[in-house]
Amino acid sequence: MQFAFSEEEELIRESARRLAADRLAPLAEALDHGEGRDGFLANLKLMAENGFMALNVAAAYGGSEAGTVAFALALEEFAAACAATAVTTSVTNMVGEVIQAVGTAAQKEEHLPKLADGSYPAGAFCLTESGAGSDPAGMALRARRDGDSYVLDGEKLYITSGEYAGIFVVWAVTDPDAPKGKGISVFLVPAGTPGVSIGKAESKMGQTGSATNIVRFDGARIPAEALMGRENDGFRVAVGELAGGRIGVAAVSLGIARAAMDAAKAYIRERRQFGQPLASFQGLQWMIADREVDLHAARLLILDAAARKDRGDPFAREASMAKLFASEAAHRCTDTALQMHGGAGYCRDYPVERYARDARITRIYEGTSEIQRLIIARETLRQLG
């Protein structure tokens, strides 16, 4: 298979690279230290104005209509500069795609332009609960029909952008008596809805610039028109959207991995031991070779999954392959980069220790590595009939 990027895709990648270098990279260290929130929000607005918050949304709603390949290329560039900003961008694009896929005409007209132009700083994807992580069908948040409204009670955990999202896509149980996974619906809930409250940001190991919050629903009343798609059909929607989100996480993983290895290669070309640059030692050269294979293989898997999605072909298995391999490769690359720095890599004077922390979550969110293996095996066996 030949991957020849269109002129538009090349332009998007180059634009993302420039924006990442000019605005994201200079703020990444401050965000890692819990600072720079105003700059972070300003960068999100700028990215929206440059078309990066609605890359696969139709132009009629203000989107870029650039496709999934362009989405993956842009996220790699953003993540190489700042993983926290990249994951916020990825989730916001997911929110836009699910609204476009199953929202009503009124919902699309109301919310998609606000995601696209930055009126909403971000979008939030509310699926995970304390008892519904790898098994989202086990969720307990309840949406009870009451006349021309639904009333939501419960809470969601680990919600990216919870504290500054303008719109929440929320999954809730609408038929508790239905078989598991069959009585779930999906709703659009604007920020500021009475009864919706946001918990404090989690104190995390990495990607600290991206807020991760509990979102609580305490008798939150929303109009019946907030339902997206058919009632009790929300689990199918979630499964489909998670597959697309895995391409985003894979691209974020690749960007972190690339940044780590770029830093390591620069370091060993300058650092000298035994009278010569570290880069002249075969042991380190072999480490570079192995990681270059990881980077190239991850990129091909990501582009294959993205191209399949853009063509309208089945892509769930390929998205899981890309997410599994890229996230595991990010672990190998960041660990190798830290090792190549020696003791310096363990100190915050160099960015590789941040890359290692940022990479760790990629093997967990949007489905753990173990869940990806289950999906890949299941889809492979299904194709065998």
Confidence label for 249 from pLDDT (cuts 50, 70 and 90): very high
Whole-number CA gyration radius for the chain: 21
**DSSP symbols for 203-216:** --SS-TTS-EEEEE
Residue-level pLDDT at 7 = 95
Contact 261/224 with Cβ under 8 angstroms? no
Three-class SS state of 169: strand
Residue-level pLDDT at 241 = 85
CA angle 12, 17, 21 (to 5 degrees): 150
CATH of the domain at 82: 1.10.540.10
Rounded CA-CA distance 235/241 in Å is: 10
Total domains present in the chain: 3
Of 233, 337, 246, 322, which is closest to residue 292 (Cα–Cα)? Answer: 337
1 in a structural domain: no
pLDDT in tens, 298-337: 999 999 999 999 999 999 999 999 999 999 999 999 999 9
Mean pLDDT, rounded, for 68-73: 98
Residue-level pLDDT at 336 = 98
263 in a structural domain: yes
Rounded CA-CA distance 156/170 in Å is: 9
Rounded CA-CA distance 95/25 in Å is: 25
Residue 267 has pLDDT above 60, yes or no: yes
Residue-level pLDDT at 2 = 59
Go through the chain and tell me how many residues it has: 385
My answer on whether 211 and 142 are in the same domain is: yes
Q: What percent of the chain has pLDDT over 70?
A: 99
| Mean pLDDT computed over every residue of the chain | 96
Which residue is it, tokens 């896929």? 101
Q: Which residues pair with 186 in a beta bridge?
A: 171, 228
pTM: 0.96
317 in a structural domain: yes
Residue-level pLDDT at 4 = 85
My answer on whether 141 and 95 are in the same domain is: no
My answer on whether 369 and 249 are in the same domain is: yes
My answer on whether 231 and 333 are in the same domain is: no
Rounded CA-CA distance 157/214 in Å is: 5
My answer on whether 275 and 365 are in the same domain is: yes
The amino acid sitting at 306 is A
Residue 84 has pLDDT above 90, yes or no: yes
Single out the residue in 88, 107, 122 at which a domain terminates.
122
Rounded CA-CA distance 243/301 in Å is: 14
Contact 141/152 with Cβ under 8 angstroms? yes
CA 310 from chain centre, in angstroms, equals: 18
The terminus-to-terminus CA distance of the chain in angstroms comes to: 26
Contact 163/213 with Cβ under 8 angstroms? yes
Of 5, 146, 136, which is closest to residue 71 (Cα–Cα)? Answer: 5
Q: What percent of the chain has pLDDT over 90?
A: 94
Sequence-ordered alpha helix ranges (H) in the chain: 7-19, 25-32, 37-49, 68-81, 83-102, 105-116, 234-270, 282-311, 316-341, 352-360, 369-383
Contact 279/270 with Cβ under 8 angstroms? no
Confidence label for 148 from pLDDT (cuts 50, 70 and 90): very high
My answer on whether 300 and 369 are in the same domain is: yes
Residue 3 has pLDDT above 80, yes or no: no
Confidence label for 1 from pLDDT (cuts 50, 70 and 90): low
pLDDT in tens, 88-114: 999 999 999 999 999 999 999 999 999
Q: Which domain holds residue 162?
A: 124-235
Confidence label for 370 from pLDDT (cuts 50, 70 and 90): very high
My answer on whether 333 and 349 are in the same domain is: yes
Residue 180 has pLDDT above 90, yes or no: no
pLDDT in tens, 195-223: 999 999 999 999 999 999 999 999 999 99
Residue-level pLDDT at 153 = 98
My answer on whether 249 and 319 are in the same domain is: yes
pLDDT in tens, 25-59: 999 999 999 999 999 999 999 999 999 999 999 99
Contact 322/309 with Cβ under 8 angstroms? no
My answer on whether 249 and 357 are in the same domain is: yes
2 in a structural domain: no
Residue-level pLDDT at 51 = 97
My answer on whether 344 and 312 are in the same domain is: yes
Regarding predicted confidence, which is higher, 136 or 186?
A: 186
Q: Which residues are catalytic?
A: 366
81: tokens are 């500069």
Q: Which residues pair with 196 in a beta bridge?
A: 217
Rounded CA-CA distance 97/243 in Å is: 12
Of 67, 54, 94, which is closest to residue 242 (Cα–Cα)? Answer: 94
